[in-house]
Amino acid sequence: MASSILLPSILEAKNISMIRDAEIENTIHGYAKPLLLAAGLEPSSVRIHIIKDNTLNAFVAGGQQIFVNSGLILESDNASQIIGVLAHEIGHISGGHLIKGTRARKNRSATSILGVLLGGAAIIGGRPDAGAAVIQLGSNIGVKNYLNFSRTQESAADQSALRFLESSQQSATGLLEFMQVLENQELLSARNQNPYVRTHPVSQHRIDAIRRHLNNSRFARKATSTKDNTSHARIKAKLVGFTKSFSYTMREYAEPEGTLASIYAKSIAYYRKPNIQEAIRLIDKLIAKIPSDPYFHELKGQIYFENGKINLALSSYQLASDLIPESALLRAQLGRAQIEKNDPKFYRMAIQNLLYSVNKDPTRPNVWRQLSIAYGRLSKKGESSRALAEEAILLGRNKEAIRIAERAKKQFKIGTPNWLRAEDISTAAHENIKRKKRF
């Protein structure tokens, strides 16, 4: 979606489409932060990834990385349910279950491939505005087996989750509600079950343990904060607007325009229809209510940008970025708009924003592509080639990465940072080619 979803491209069945959205990622990370602190984990070291998939699922993989299906958000009734799921998944991280499972299956190719895949650079990003990204899983990888936890580990993760919730003074009611949904799912055939049921087996023992905790918890009846419930309504409305049909969105938010979530969803739906005039009218209505909300300005910038109104897009993206200057996604969007302005005075500003973005999150090929364009327009051939080499290796185009990296090296003095990075890319691409041959 603009940091938002903006319709990820149609992918083959073996691929997974990732949503990159500043608001959704920040919201989910905000839910996770107190739980991570309770677990003794550094929040900044844990990455949240949103998978565009309507099924109800979440899992941890590739170290301290949490993957949440968009379907989990869409099917949830409140923030507490998502918080409960996050607490459980953090329980798996805290308990080292993924590492133990990997060791137990160390001879399976799925383990080694998925480990490389989720290690960082292989999680590839698409356009910085749409944030579409693709994880190439391959049809022969047994992902379900790799992610499958034993009932013992599930119970242990539950106990950790309950401890983290209690320590952060939150109710476990959402976790119980989620488990009850899963319990009903277990009655269905495997084909109709959500993936979470198959990879996280539920038992009456686990549900009873959560109930016992609630009977003794000081925070059992503590309501979810208004802030969390509001943010949940927003990201759910955003997902509906960007991933569902216009008619579905209008039915789902048939109430008058009074609620923020309703206006938000409808603005996105009209933008996609497209009815730009109505989309802008609705987003302006939200901005009038909350002028300092960066995500409303971001959406407005996206609407203008995608419809060729670059000056208006620049203004909105700049406002959004000024409100959250630490957002790599928003800075990338602003940089792209500055390049599209096609005015030399904006190129250096674009480079500054794009460099900030890739320094914070170097895994998005299109941001490197935009950097290459900006450097090229300033006749910085070496930097432009180095950025293209970064894009190529992220996309798995190893031969191309070697060719471009070697070209970049000729533009730099031997031993300088840019020369060394181009050399690293070339070496890594050679290793990737060798690894592919072994598999």
Report, as an integer, the average pLDDT of 328-333: 97
What whole-number percentage of the chain has pLDDT above 90? 69
Higher pLDDT, 204 or 177: 177
Q: Please give the pLDDT value at position 149.
A: 56
Rg (CA), the chain: 23
Query: Does 181 have pLDDT greater than 90?
Result: no
DSSP, residue by residue, 86-138: HHHHHHHHHTTHHHHHHHHTTT-HHHHHHHHHTSSTTS----TTT--EEEE--
Q: What stretch(es) of the chain map to CATH 3.30.2010.10? A: 15-216
Query: Does 24 have pLDDT greater than 80?
Result: yes
Query: Does 429 have pLDDT greater than 60?
Result: yes
pLDDT digit string, tens, across residues 153-173: 888 999 999 999 999 999 999
Query: Does 3 have pLDDT greater than 80?
Result: no
**Which region among 33-37, 108-112, 217-221 has the lowest average model confidence (pLDDT)?**
108-112
Q: Please give the pLDDT value at position 1.
A: 67
pLDDT digit string, tens, across residues 257-297: 679 999 999 999 999 999 999 999 999 999 999 999 999 99
Confidence of residue 378 (pLDDT cuts 50, 70, 90): very high
Confidence of residue 140 (pLDDT cuts 50, 70, 90): very low
**Are 241 and 265 contacting, i.e. CB atoms less than 8 angstroms apart?**
yes
Calculate the average pLDDT of the chain.
84
**Are 340 and 305 contacting, i.e. CB atoms less than 8 angstroms apart?**
yes
For domain 15-216, is the CATH number 3.30.2010.10?
yes
Q: Please give the pLDDT value at position 152.
A: 79
Residues in CB range of 225: below 8 A, 6 or more apart: none
CA distance 256 to 247: 16
Confidence of residue 122 (pLDDT cuts 50, 70, 90): very low
Confidence of residue 129 (pLDDT cuts 50, 70, 90): very low
62 Rama sector, left if φ>0, alpha if ψ -120 to 50, beta otherwise: left
Q: Please give the pLDDT value at position 137.
A: 35
What's the gap between Cα 303 and its chain centre? 21
Q: Please give the pLDDT value at position 131.
A: 29
Query: Does 43 have pLDDT greater than 90?
Result: yes
Residue 353 DSSP SS3: helix
Burial 16-42 (b: 16+ CB within 10 A, else e): bbbbbbbbbbbbbbebbbbbbebbebe
Q: Please give the pLDDT value at position 194.
A: 63
Closest C-alpha among 134, 129, 133, 135 to residue 22: 129
Query: Does 107 have pLDDT greater than 80?
Result: no
- Domain 237-438, CATH homologous superfamily name and number: Tetratricopeptide repeat domain (1.25.40.10)
CA distance 187 to 250: 32
Q: Please give the pLDDT value at position 275.
A: 97
Burial of 326 (0-12, 13-18, 19+ CB in 10 A): exposed
pLDDT digit string, tens, across residues 186-228: 655 555 656 666 566 677 888 999 999 999 999 999 999 999 9
Residue 10 DSSP SS3: coil
Report, as an integer, the average pLDDT of 149-153: 71
What whole-number percentage of the chain has pLDDT above 70? 79
Q: What stretch(es) of the chain map to CATH 1.25.40.10? A: 237-438
CA distance 381 to 374: 10
Residues in CB range of 417: below 8 A, 6 or more apart: none
Higher pLDDT, 64 or 406: 406
**Which region among 89-103, 119-133, 172-186, 188-202 has the lowest average model confidence (pLDDT)?**
119-133
Q: Please give the pLDDT value at position 189.
A: 54
Query: Does 126 have pLDDT greater than 60?
Result: no
Confidence of residue 239 (pLDDT cuts 50, 70, 90): very high
Confidence of residue 61 (pLDDT cuts 50, 70, 90): confident
- For the CA atoms of 112, 115, 121, 122, the dihedral, rounded to the nearest 10 degrees, stands at 70
